[in-house]
A and B are shown apart, each in its own frame.
Chain A
Amino acid sequence: MPLLEVRNLHVEIDGKEILKGLDLTVNAGEVHAIMGPNGSGKSTLAYVLAGKADYTPTSGEVLFNGKNIFDMAPDERAAAGLFLAFQYPLEIPGVATMTFLRTALNAQRKKRGEAELSTPEFLKKVREVSGKLGIEQEMLRRAVNVGFSGGEKKRNEILQMALLEPRLAVLDETDSGLDIDALRIVSEGVNGLRAKERAFVVITHYQRLLNYIVPDVVHVLSKGRIVKTGGKELALELEARGYAEYQEEVPA
């Protein structure tokens, strides 16, 4: 059974159809890249998988581990092992990063019937993971993403991913706004989590990230559909030739 199966997915926002029959199958252990021009529906796909309100599926289905995710609230999807690294991580004034991380981790564990982590256990885990990502302890004492640079926010997303250990991680333009050092750190974070029971969907506009996170499968998304699928060489092809040929009207 595939880890993620998206079949003929149509999604509307404010009555406007953005995804128009998207199909995607991701097996455990794989890394898929989804590339496409602006406005092709990349972020919509990310949000609809995570369960954002106002992103209304009108037909089709999404099975995660064989279960229809449209029956699940965002927190239930997260507890089931679905993670979205946000393109624009939100600032939450007044909520300490540590409180946020601990609440999230323990809520997921509780939902799965696992024991909640004690304070020392949790601190040990955070130190372990943040160390690998070059995240200062001082950053963790601040409110969630408040006063963080763009790169720090993205690293914080990867920290959350590493801590929560999802089955499927969707990275929505995690490379945007990152300098080359930050890109390397983030990529190492992702590569360190690659495992045969875990899959990644890496959404990006540029090929650059895929030098660091080497995908098994590359898809081209255009006008709400996957219009081409290939191996990692497809990314290089796109980099060289651009998206122009995929933005032509595709016959139905």
Chain B
Amino acid sequence: MNAEVAVIKTAAETALAQAFSQARGRLPGDDAVAAQRAAAFDVFAKTGLPHRRIEDWKYTDLRALMRDAKPLAAPPDAAAKARAKTAGALLGDVETRRLVFVDGAFVAELSDLAGLEPGLSVGSLADALSNGDATLASHLGKLAPANDAAVALNTALMGDGAVIRIASGATTERPIHLLFVASDKPAATFVRSLVVVEAGARAMLIESHEGPAGSDYQVNSALEIFVGDTAHVDHVKIIGEGSDALHVSTLAAAIGARARFNAFTFTTGGAVVRNQLFLKFDGEDTVAGIRGATLLKGRQHADTTLVADHIAQGCQSREMFKTVLDGEAHGVFQGRIIVRPHAQKTDAKMMTRALLLSERAEADNKPELEIFADDVQCGHGATAGALDDDLKFYLMARGIPRPEAEALLIRAFLGEAIDGIEHAGLREALMDAVAAWLKAR
């Protein structure tokens, strides 16, 4: 008799295994990719869906939260594509170059592919996989942690996504907007994107996710960004999924020397959201701002998990995450700053603050520092609390009704994070989205 305990699979795990075995023959890519997919699925199968006894997923027990796995999305039909035309309204009049994905599939006719700036190349992952693209072969899967269950599933089942390359010294005139829209068919999509920004290039990238309310679709999205030396990259992710959606997304980036890198996540949508950021500071003297604003209500659950890994010396990183929680919402922030032995003169400061608008809301903050170098400046802070009654009274004593007084204070609270976005139009669009959220409260 051996001591091995039979692993009981949940319905969702069983469905994922079935989906993989049915789809593996038709998913894009050559034999090498197929092998990569199989290896990734094995990683996933070994542990199954992450649950609360796995430390990194302690507050987001996917085994409990994901009751079933939806079938892989079929290619979008004409009606779904037509509806996707009105997507991206949150951005208002911010001028972007749109790359539109409906149910995870790239839709060229809705995308803005004309007049690419010199040095910019844009394509779909499905095409790149099918054509044996060289950039893909050398970069895909090099940054996203292979042992993470969400990443493993993504690698196994990735269907489409964007592959973008910005050549050395090139600049994008408009932000590139990866717009992911779910149709009204509750399906699962696994999108994978790769962005390579070469030395000295400048790029601004917006990634947004949205879909219909009341549909329990599932999104697993992963994006790997290579930031070359002295490049300047801004990434803004907007998680505006429908009310019943499950959204797991991963950003993995490696940042070169003397670069500037800003990442911002704006989360208002989805029933269950897990937003993972894995950042490697590979080159010295880089400056990075990693920020986020999350607004949750009802029974929404959103988890931001960040690992900022300082490998090279002299980098500065600022992490600031603000969460507003109403109703019975649950906000999670796990942030780990690692400073490796060679990363002397690292200057890293992480701040996470939760504002609870309801007594039934819950905020969990877990900031961690792992420091292996001796000449560094690192710190973290975490707070959770209600709106300041004295400030509210001061505003009301001037004639401002309670809801407006609260809205002013909440906007100010989130503004501190949103102000870190360099693009003025985008800052305004997000503040407008905050105002709309507050109005609907």
Query: Can you pick out 10 interface pairs between chain A and chain B where the beta carbons lie within 8 Å of each other?
Result: A52-B397, A73-B401, A73-B402, A78-B396, A84-B397, A92-B408, A92-B409, A94-B415, A104-B399, A107-B401
> How far does the alpha carbon of A197 sit from the alpha carbon of B101 in the complex, in Å?
65
Q: Which of B172-180, B182-190, B302-310, B387-395 lines the interface with chain A?
A: B387-395
B396–A73 contact, CB under 8 A? yes
List which A55-80 residues lie within 8 A (CB) of chain B. Answer: 73-75, 77-79
> Does B439 interact with chain A (Cβ within 8 Å)?
no
> How far does the alpha carbon of A51 sit from the alpha carbon of B390 in the complex, in Å?
12
Q: Which of B396, B397, B399, B412 has the most CB of A within 10 A?
A: B399
> Does B413 interact with chain A (Cβ within 8 Å)?
yes
List which B355-410 residues lie within 8 A (CB) of chain A. Answer: 389-391, 393-402, 404-405, 408-409
What A residues does B412 contact at CB under 8 A? Answer: 92-95, 143
Q: Which 8 A-B pairs have the closest CB atoms?
A: A94-B412, A78-B399, A108-B399, A104-B398, A74-B396, A75-B396, A90-B394, A95-B412
B402–A164 contact, CB under 8 A? no
> How far does the alpha carbon of A107 sit from the alpha carbon of B395 in the complex, in Å?
11
Q: Which of A94, A100, A160 has the most CB of B within 10 A?
A: A94
A94–B394 contact, CB under 8 A? no
Measured CB to CB, the nearest residue on chain B to A93 is B412
Number of interface residues of B (CB under 8 A): 22
> Does A168 interact with chain B (Cβ within 8 Å)?
no
With both chains docked as a complex, state the minimum distance between the C-beta of A236 and any C-beta of chain B, in angstroms.
32
Measured CB to CB, the nearest residue on chain B to A91 is B391
B399–A86 contact, CB under 8 A? no
List which B407-441 residues lie within 8 A (CB) of chain A. Answer: 408-409, 411-413, 415-416
With both chains docked as a complex, state the minimum distance between the C-beta of A94 and any C-beta of chain B, in angstroms.
3
Contacts known (A94-B411, A94-B412, A107-B404); A50 close to B397, Cβ less than 8 A: yes
A79–B399 contact, CB under 8 A? yes
> Does A1 interact with chain B (Cβ within 8 Å)?
no
Contacts known (A104-B399, A107-B400, A107-B401); A52 close to B409, Cβ less than 8 A: no
> Does A244 interact with chain B (Cβ within 8 Å)?
no
What B residues does A73 contact at CB under 8 A? Answer: 396, 401-402
A111–B399 contact, CB under 8 A? yes
> How far does the alpha carbon of A249 sit from the alpha carbon of B212 in the complex, in Å?
72
Measured CB to CB, the nearest residue on chain A to B412 is A94
A92–B399 contact, CB under 8 A? no
Cβ-defined partner of B398 (8 Å) among A94, A143, A164: A164
User: What would 4 more interface pairs be, CB under 8 Å, given A75-B400, A92-B391?
Assistant: A51-B397, A73-B396, A92-B409, A94-B416
What B residues does A103 contact at CB under 8 A? Answer: 400, 404, 408
Tell me how many residue pairs across A and B have CB atoms closer than 8 Å: 79
What B residues does A74 contact at CB under 8 A? Answer: 393, 396-397
What B residues does A143 contact at CB under 8 A? Answer: 412
What B residues does A100 contact at CB under 8 A? Answer: 395, 398, 408
B399–A53 contact, CB under 8 A? no
A53–B393 contact, CB under 8 A? yes
Measured CB to CB, the nearest residue on chain A to B394 is A90
What B residues does A53 contact at CB under 8 A? Answer: 389, 393
With both chains docked as a complex, state the minimum distance between the C-beta of B316 and any C-beta of chain A, in angstroms.
23
With both chains docked as a complex, state the minimum distance between the C-beta of A217 and any C-beta of chain B, in angstroms.
25
> How far does the alpha carbon of A86 sit from the alpha carbon of B398 in the complex, in Å?
11
> Does A99 interact with chain B (Cβ within 8 Å)?
yes
> How far does the alpha carbon of A128 sit from the alpha carbon of B191 in the complex, in Å?
58
B415–A75 contact, CB under 8 A? no
> How far does the alpha carbon of A105 sit from the alpha carbon of B395 in the complex, in Å?
11
What B residues does A104 contact at CB under 8 A? Answer: 395, 398-400
Contacts known (A84-B397, A90-B390, A94-B415); A99 close to B402, Cβ less than 8 A: no
What B residues does A160 contact at CB under 8 A? Answer: 398
Measured CB to CB, the nearest residue on chain A to B401 is A75
A95–B400 contact, CB under 8 A? no
Measured CB to CB, the nearest residue on chain A to B416 is A94
Contacts known (A90-B390, A90-B394, A94-B413); A75 close to B402, Cβ less than 8 A: yes
> How far does the alpha carbon of A113 sit from the alpha carbon of B302 in the complex, in Å?
42
What A residues does B397 contact at CB under 8 A? Answer: 50-52, 74-75, 77-78, 83-84, 86
> How far does the alpha carbon of A106 sit from the alpha carbon of B395 in the complex, in Å?
13
Cβ-defined partner of B394 (8 Å) among A92, A108, A164: A92
List which A178-234 residues lie within 8 A (CB) of chain B. Answer: none
What A residues does B402 contact at CB under 8 A? Answer: 73, 75
Q: Which of B397, B408, B409 has the most CB of A within 10 A?
A: B397
With both chains docked as a complex, state the minimum distance between the C-beta of B391 and any C-beta of chain A, in angstroms.
6
What A residues does B389 contact at CB under 8 A? Answer: 53
> How far does the alpha carbon of A103 sit from the alpha carbon of B397 in the complex, in Å?
12
